[in-house]
Amino acid sequence: MEDLWEALGHIERRVRHAVALRRETDPEPNDPYRGQYLTPAAAERILESRDAFRPVPDHAQGAPPPPAEGRIAALAADFALVPPDVDLLLIAMAPDIDPRFERLYGYLNDDLTRRRATIGLALELCGLPAAGSGRFRFSPSAPLVAAGLVEVREDERPLLSRVLRVPDRVTAHLLGDDGVDGRLHGLVRVAGPREEPDACPTTLRVAAALGTGSGLVHLLDRGGDPGRLAADALLTAGLRPLVVDAAALAAAPEPVRTARILATEARLSGAGLVLGPLETLAPERPGGAALIDGLCEAFGGASPLIMYGKKTWDPLWAGESPVTFSVLPPDPADAARRWRRALTAAGTTTGNPAGAPAGIAAGTAAAEARLLDATRAYRLDSGQIRRAAAVASRLAALEKRPVEAQDLRTAVRAQNGAGLARLARRIEPTVGWDDLVLPPATRHQLSDLALRARHREQVLGRWRMRPGGGRGRGIVALFAGESGTGKTMSAEVVAADLGMELYVVDLSSVVDKYIGETEKNLERIFVEASDVNAVLLFDEADAVFGKRSQVKDAHDRHANVESAYLLQRIESFDGIAVLTTNLRANLDEAFTRRLDVVADFPVPDEQQRLALWERCLGTEVPRDPGLDLRTCAARFELTGGSIRACAVTAAYQAAESGRPLDTGQLVSAVLAEYRKLGRLVLDSEFGPWLERTRRGD
């Protein structure tokens, strides 16, 4: 900081000389009330004076030579400042470093309450003409003002009377402080070092693009981790990554002014900016587009600016067009390595060393395989992985054991935002494969669905088995069968097997009578579902995925438009979706072509019905020794849902009677279910129990 103190010493000598000159012409230099009133004699002197300020001779200025090294020299080079600009900056900054300048500036301003340099005083101290080119050094486009190094306050005053102020961050920088500007607290964080010593090819290409032209880069998110890639690219280029919270920036009181502060911070600290996702800024709206344009203009090629998001860059967003790179999902093995590093770090932080080297996070080949199998179905960025690893480690630390797969599943579910929960009903799976009673063919189809969900990044991503045509990397399945055959429960089992949550779309909140509203509701659901690790269930899907019909009126045309939109949107979906229907023939054939798995759910046969009766009654309900479940399974052709309803009804009857559950109570429950379903009650099915039920025995 020696260069700064030396420069301020020159400024002090200039101020002393100006004070001496002022005292020579001041008839009452010792007046204690000076600066608080204007005497007639003083007014007369002002009227007789031709110039308010007299240029200071060069020999009196003690003008310092341009600094050759140090932070002042670096600042001048980075912001393209000429020597007069540096002098003006130091004059404006002097009161923030040495309080003596406050009193001296108050005296020179002829106003003890104005203790900062005004434009007129600064120009006087530098010997610059106030009526000439000097005043334009404080115009909005001048280097000092445009770069945010000097702020001009009190716009309501005449130009030469306006006060100059240097932001605290600039003063701190010249004093050797490299902390982020306090005005950006909660908005910016400095990204940590690279997780890997060797950057991937995409990172190297992005880093090279930062050094060309304006340094504006757009990362198109195709399921990868663009935020981490952007930070790695800046580190590779030798720059400090400043990661901006896009939501906080959009909510800032003056976002465009905040953008200029960000640009100043980046130039001061030799950094680049990472901003995303762009969807948070709503660039399709004028305010969002203006903010993006303001950012691009504020950076103006002086510092790299990397923005990312899932939307393709629109040239209308800004006057400058970026270089765009697509960011694909990471290799599953690479994602597993990130998980292990995050778990190791989290185990140390949470004080559970056993959680890091043992269990699923251990370095053995078997542990690596378990970790890969447990995490391959998830799509998380590095920040989400870090937070999920911390949660999993804390869960394991509670029981003083290593991290296991169930901890990871719980932690990943905690990363799902609440956006989809506002549009669909959230179900946390509590069932497994052993709870299903289905034919072998149907179970195989469900296993195929889970298998596709686990390996989709490898097959559809790395092996590029679904290229072109705007196709997404989603998995879409159809469950077709009568009501109560286990379609919804099967979707819950698949979600549990993948370690995900199940979201059931409420079609009553989706279908709208107004034209175009149904598509908007579905679009919101698809967008939110793409960002969470969950299974999306469209129950009774034929209500929105029905067949297109011949156009006879405007309603038919609108219905066909809805179907056409869904055909396109399903194909570009990046998540996991399950459609259920009671009648497969109701679905449009074009949807069938876009399905990955079709599982048929037939009515259970006698053996399956017996297994369902056993499963629904469980082991806690007391049973009468004469309870004949095999006869009930043989006589009554019911679906799994109806069998469960009968079991619950019979359990209520047993609880009321205080006796163990017997066959009569079970048949009475079946009879009530038949009547509820509107089915015929035949003597051939119920036999002697029918008369007993009528008598109330």
Q: Which residues contact 468 (CB under 8 A, 6 or more apart)?
A: none
Residue 55 has a pLDDT of 44
Same fold, 433-601 and 606-695: no
User: Do 234 and 272 meet the contact criterion of CB atoms below 8 Å apart?
Assistant: yes
Percent of the chain with pLDDT over 90: 40
Q: First CA to last CA across the chain, in angstroms?
A: 100
Percent of the chain with pLDDT over 70: 84
- Total Cβ atoms within 10 A of residue 280: 17
Longest dimension (CA), the chain: 127
DSSP 3-state assignment of 538?
strand
Reported as a single tens digit per residue, the pLDDT across 260-297 is 999 999 999 999 999 989 989 989 888 999 999 999 99
Where does the pLDDT of residue 377 fall: very low under 50, low under 70, confident under 90, or very high at 90 and above? confident
Of residues 423 and 431, more confidence is placed in: 431
Which sequence spans correspond to the domains of the chain? 2-174, 182-327, 332-415, 433-601, 606-695
> Bridge-partner residues for 477, per DSSP?
578, 597
CB-facing half-sphere around the CA of 75: CA atoms within 13 A: 30
- Return d(Cα 601, Cα 586) in angstroms, integer: 16
> Bridge-partner residues for 505, per DSSP?
424, 538
CATH of domain 433-601: 3.40.50.300
Reported as a single tens digit per residue, the pLDDT across 308-327 is 998 889 999 998 899 999 99
Say if domain 606-695 classifies as CATH 1.10.8.60.
yes
> Bridge-partner residues for 323, per DSSP?
217
> Bridge-partner residues for 164, per DSSP?
152
Reported as a single tens digit per residue, the pLDDT across 597-646 is 999 999 999 999 999 999 999 889 999 999 999 989 998 999 999 999 99
Where does the pLDDT of residue 381 fall: very low under 50, low under 70, confident under 90, or very high at 90 and above? confident
pLDDT at position 535 over 80: yes
Reported as a single tens digit per residue, the pLDDT across 363-374 is 577 777 888 888
- Return d(Cα 648, Cα 516) in angstroms, integer: 43
Residue 39 has a pLDDT of 59
DSSP character for 542?
G
Residue 545 has a pLDDT of 66
In this structure, what is the dihedral angle of CA atoms 373, 375, 378, 382, given to the nearest 10 degrees? -150
pLDDT at position 305 over 90: yes
Residue 190 has a pLDDT of 92
Task: Please state the rounded mean pLDDT for residues 14-32.
Answer: 75
- Return d(Cα 27, Cα 32) in angstroms, integer: 13
In the structure, how many helices (H) and strands (E) does the chain have? 29, 14
In this structure, what is the dihedral angle of CA atoms 56, 57, 62, 67, given to the nearest 10 degrees? 90
CATH T-level topology, domain 182-327: Rossmann fold (3.40.50)
- Highest-pLDDT range among 195-204, 335-344, 484-493, 522-531: 484-493
Residue 290 has a pLDDT of 92
pLDDT at position 479 over 90: yes
Task: Please state the rounded mean pLDDT for residues 40-60.
Answer: 50
Residue written as token pair 């920040």: 383
Residue 687 has a pLDDT of 67
Task: Please state the rounded mean pLDDT for residues 686-696.
Answer: 63
Continuous H helices in 399-439: 405-413
Residue 358 has a pLDDT of 47
Residue 278 has a pLDDT of 93
Query: What value does the mean pLDDT of the chain take?
Result: 83
Report angle CA 344, 533, 232 to the nearest 5 degrees.
Answer: 50
pLDDT at position 300 over 70: yes
Residue 198 has a pLDDT of 54
Residue 64 has a pLDDT of 52
pLDDT at position 677 over 60: yes
User: Do 240 and 394 meet the contact criterion of CB atoms below 8 Å apart?
Assistant: no
- Return d(Cα 642, Cα 268) in angstroms, integer: 70
pLDDT at position 102 over 80: yes
Residue 52 has a pLDDT of 37
Q: Element (H or E) spanning 597, and its range? A: strand 597-601
Where does the pLDDT of residue 60 fall: very low under 50, low under 70, confident under 90, or very high at 90 and above? very low
